[in-house]
Amino acid sequence: MATATVDGAAATERRIKADEYVNPFVLRLDLTDPWEKLKTYLMTIFVLPVRAVLMGVCLVVAWIFASIGLYGLTDKERRSIPISGWRREMRELTALAMRALYAFGSFHYIKVNGECASPREAPLVVVGPHYSLFDSIVVAFCGPSTVVAKSKAADLPLIGKIIDITQPIYVCREDPNSRHLTRHLIVERVISKENWPQILIFPEGTCSNGKAVVQFKPGAFGPGLPVQPVAIRYTNPLNTVSWTWEGPGVPVLLWRTLTTLHTGFEINFLPVYYPDERERNDAKLYARNVRDRIAASLGIPGTDHGLNDCRLMNYMIAIGMPYFAWS
């Protein structure tokens, strides 16, 4: 009986591998190739320190611009009134400093296809697939746009002020009421007559390895308003950017990316998506169709994987149960 079970598991593993099953939450980043190893170590010694210093300078400059732009602005005003005038100019300068930071961090050239729509035409910008913190490059190319961020991000040294200048909508994952409030604030902004910037969201709600676009959360699609899909892609053969549930952590990803000669990045602004009547009445359908539009533009599948799959995968690892959905 035990033999039959093992044989069945092996057969399942062979079958899934033969079908090239894609697990979007796994990344293998081994340093085994001799040339890659030599290049990485040389870059670590001679290039990484210089890049780190230049990026640090850009980060401080961005923080200074953001701090000036927020000076004298209360939290209530930041949440309820779109900034304008000289404060908006400070936000633009903050975005420029952040673009310079990424340029020093191996993102020397970013290929942009299409154009970002105006806030009036598409108040929401939805980006996928979501790889990692590097995806924030897109914010600087959208106006800059405002973002939906974890509430804890506001307390980060330097970074907190830079996020605040975008007038973000903060969400607390631990608070069950926070998600409802976040949806309410998104709706409030997108239907407002005020001159708010576009809201940029990563509707997957988790990071993946970019081999598929995973399930979109429907919350932002509830208002039934037009959105602009944005498909992003890292073009290097070796993926050093994805922060997946099963794979290297942020320090390793930063090290491998900053010791890469150049990290290719592509932003594809797709045509504004206008929902039909069915989609306006069904946020899940609307979200799924936009996800599929992004996936099709990249030539990768759209899947119904989600955060619960990540939790299940971690549970299976914790109890020692084998699973075969390896990328």
Confidence of residue 19 (pLDDT cuts 50, 70, 90): very low
Between 305 and 116, residue with greater pLDDT: 116
Q: Is the pLDDT of residue 162 over 90?
A: yes
pLDDT confidence of residue 173: 67
Q: Is the pLDDT of residue 292 over 60?
A: yes
Between 317 and 79, residue with greater pLDDT: 79
As a whole number, the mean pLDDT across the chain is: 87
Q: Is the pLDDT of residue 15 over 50?
A: no
For residues 80-85, average pLDDT:
92
The DSSP code for 247 is S
Structure tokens at 191: 């239907």
Pick from 143, 154, 151, 219: which is nearest to 185 by CA?
A: 219
Pick from 110, 136, 283, 272: which is nearest to 202 by CA?
A: 136
For residues 57-69, average pLDDT:
98
pLDDT confidence of residue 5: 44
Pick from 222, 229, 162: which is nearest to 198 by CA?
A: 229
Structure tokens at 224: 């039934």
Q: What percent of the chain has pLDDT over 90?
A: 62
Q: Is the pLDDT of residue 324 over 70?
A: no
For residues 112-131, average pLDDT:
94
Structure tokens at 264: 């290719």
Per mean pLDDT, which range of 21-25, 96-100, 175-179, 313-317 is the poorest? Answer: 313-317
For residues 83-98, average pLDDT:
96
CB 67 within 8 A of CB 159: no
Per residue in 212-243, pLDDT (tens digit) is 999 999 988 988 999 999 999 999 999 999 99
Please give the Cα distance from 206 to 215 (Å, whole number): 10
Per mean pLDDT, which range of 52-61, 172-181, 295-304 is the poorest? Answer: 172-181
**Helices and strands in the chain: count of H runs, count of E runs:** 12, 7
* Distance linking the first and last C-alpha atoms of the chain: 30
Amino acid letter for position 204: E
Strand order in the sheet with 265-269: 110-113, 265-269, 227-234, 124-128, 199-201, 146-150, 169-171
CA–chain centroid gap for 286, Å, is 20
Q: Is the pLDDT of residue 139 over 60?
A: yes
Per mean pLDDT, which range of 59-73, 118-132, 149-163 is the poorest? Answer: 149-163
Q: Is the pLDDT of residue 278 over 90?
A: yes
Between 177 and 276, residue with greater pLDDT: 276
